[in-house]
Amino acid sequence: MPSNKSVSDAPIVQFTNCRILRDHQLQREDLWVREGKILNPEKLFFDEKGSADVQLDCKDSIIAPGFIDVQINGGFGVDFSLATDDFKSGIDLVSQKILSHGVTSFCPTLVTSPPSVYHQILPQISVRNGGAHGAGILGAHLEGPFISKEKKGAHPEHCLRTFEAGAFQDLLATYGSLNCVQIVTLAPEMRRSSEVIQELTKRGICVSLGHSVANLSQAEEAVQHGATFITHLFNAMLPFHHRDPGIVGLLTSDKIPAGRRVFYGMISDGIHTNPAALRIAHRAHPKGLVLVTDAIAGMGLAPGRHTLGQQVVEIDGLNTYIAGTKTLSGSVATMDTCVRHFQEATGCSVETALEAASLHPAQLLGIEHKKGTLNYDSDADFLMLNDSLYVQATYIAGEEVWRQDVSGM
Catalytic residue among 269, 294, 379, 381: 294
164-179 tens-digit pLDDT: 989 999 999 999 999 9
| Residue 83, amino acid | A
For the chain, what is the mean pLDDT?
95
33 — phi, psi (to 5°)?
-135, 135
Interatomic CA distance for residues 138 and 198, integer angstroms: 21
**What mean pLDDT is predicted for residues 312-321?**
90
**What mean pLDDT is predicted for residues 299-312?**
92
Give the annotated binding-site residues for Zn(2+): 143, 211, 232
Count of CB atoms within 10 A of residue 405's CB?
Answer: 8
**What mean pLDDT is predicted for residues 38-57?**
90
Interatomic CA distance for residues 35 and 57, integer angstroms: 20
pLDDT exceeding 70 applies to what percent of the chain?
98
**Cβ proximity of 332 and 299 under 8 Å:** yes
pLDDT beyond 70 at 38? yes
**Cβ proximity of 79 and 296 under 8 Å:** yes
Domains of the chain: 13-64+373-403 (2.30.40.10), 66-365 (3.20.20.140)
Provide the β-strand partners of residue 315. Answer: 304, 320
pLDDT beyond 90 at 193? yes
**What mean pLDDT is predicted for residues 286-299?**
97
The larger pLDDT score, comparing residue 51 to residue 364, is at 364
**What mean pLDDT is predicted for residues 121-143?**
97
**Cβ proximity of 270 and 341 under 8 Å:** yes
pLDDT beyond 60 at 4? no
**What mean pLDDT is predicted for residues 294-321?**
92
pLDDT of residue 407: 59
Q: Which of 30, 102, 63, 131 is nearest to 403 (CA)?
A: 102
pLDDT of residue 118: 98
Give the annotated binding-site residues for substrate: 154, 235-236, 243, 272, 328-330
Q: Which of 199, 200, 185, 250 is nearest to 223 (CA)?
A: 250
Count of CB atoms within 10 A of residue 86's CB?
Answer: 11
Q: Whole-model pTM?
A: 0.96
Q: Confirm whether 294 is a catalytic residue.
A: yes
